[in-house]
Amino acid sequence: MIRRKRQFLFASERGSLHPSLTQSGFSIIELMIALVLVAIAASLALPSYVDMIEKRHVTRGAEQLLAFVNSAQLESVKWNQDLNVSYKRVGDSDWCVGANLGATICDCTVTDTSNAQFCGINGSAWKFDDDLAGDRVLVKAMSGDDGGDNAYTFEPERGIFVNMDDTFQVEMHSSTSKYQLQIMVTQTGQAVLCSKNAAHAVTGYAVCPATESEEVSS
């Protein structure tokens, strides 16, 4: 009698475990629901990710060019000589900015180091262009009130422009032009990085002050 009772208990316990084992895991419907939820989450996150990459793209390019412009001013003070910054833009992916010491303005498109117009400081090349920027199609405009020589000159004592009528401005856009930044160099030699306007502002960069030409047109 005792043996039969034990066999019955064992059979009951074994029988009660078997159904629970067959019900572990996901059904096809549950897997489909999970996949749909993942797809929805991905579709919501993708625009934010693309937006972040686009913003970082233009911000990094603008900061690199700003660093070059600021370092050129410091070189003038360091060597106690006038320093020329020349620039040229043919297209969005064909532009350059260069610098050299002395009275002669260099040409940033010259690649021959033996050429007298090669941009360099104390024997070292001193140029930033679309190649060094990773061929980014960012620069939409590069201009200045410079008398037509596409250059401006720092004087070493105060780090300001020799010709106080000179200005320099670069406009950079992200791939869809959603974000737009400007580098503005004033007669005092101060280089400012700012958002072109409120409609295309980049978080962390104030909107640029209006230039005299913009104030007149408005």
Q: Is the pTM of this model over 0.75?
A: no
The per-residue pLDDT of the chain, averaged, comes to 80
pLDDT higher than 80, residue 187: no
pLDDT, residue 72, reads 87
**Is residue 214 over pLDDT 60?**
no
Kindly report the CATH number assigned to the domain that includes residue 122.
3.55.40
**Residue 81 domain-assigned?**
yes
Q: What is the pLDDT of residue 134?
A: 59
120 within a domain of the structure (yes/no): yes
Look at 23-32, 154-163, 204-213 and tell me which has the smallest mean pLDDT.
23-32
Confidence at residue 180, expressed as pLDDT on a 0 to 100 scale: 93
Most confident region among 135-139, 144-148, 180-184 by mean pLDDT: 180-184
Query: Residue 130's pLDDT is what?
Result: 83
pLDDT at 183: 93
User: pLDDT tens digit string along 74-132?
Assistant: 899 899 999 999 999 988 888 999 999 988 899 999 999 899 899 999 888 999 888 87
Which pLDDT value is given to residue 123? 85
3-state secondary structure the chain: CHHHHHHHHHHHHHHHHHHHHHCCCCCHHHHHHHHHHHHHHHHHHHHHHHHHHHHHHHHHHHHHHHHHHHHHHHHHHHHCCCEEEEEEEEECCEEEEEEEECCCCCCCCCCCCCCCCCCEECCEECEEECCCCCCCCCEEEEECCCCCCCEEEECCCCCCECCCCCCEEEEEECCCCCCEEEEEECCCCCEEEEECCHHHCCCCCCECCCCHHHHHHC
Amino acid 211: pLDDT: 58
Query: How many domains, in total, are found in the chain?
Result: 1
Query: What's the mean pLDDT in 129-148?
Result: 75
Structural domain including 204 reads 71-217
In a domain, 108, yes or no: yes
Q: What percent of the chain is predicted at pLDDT more than 90?
A: 28
* Average pLDDT, integer, range 47-51: 72
Flag whether 51 is in a domain: no
Domain assignment present for residue 22? The answer is no
**What pLDDT sits at residue 117?**
92
Residue 39 maps to a domain: no
Q: Give domain status of residue 15, yes or no.
A: no
Whole-number pLDDT of residue 47: 61
Per-residue confidence band for 10, with pLDDT thresholds at 50, 70 and 90: very low
46 domain residue, yes or no: no
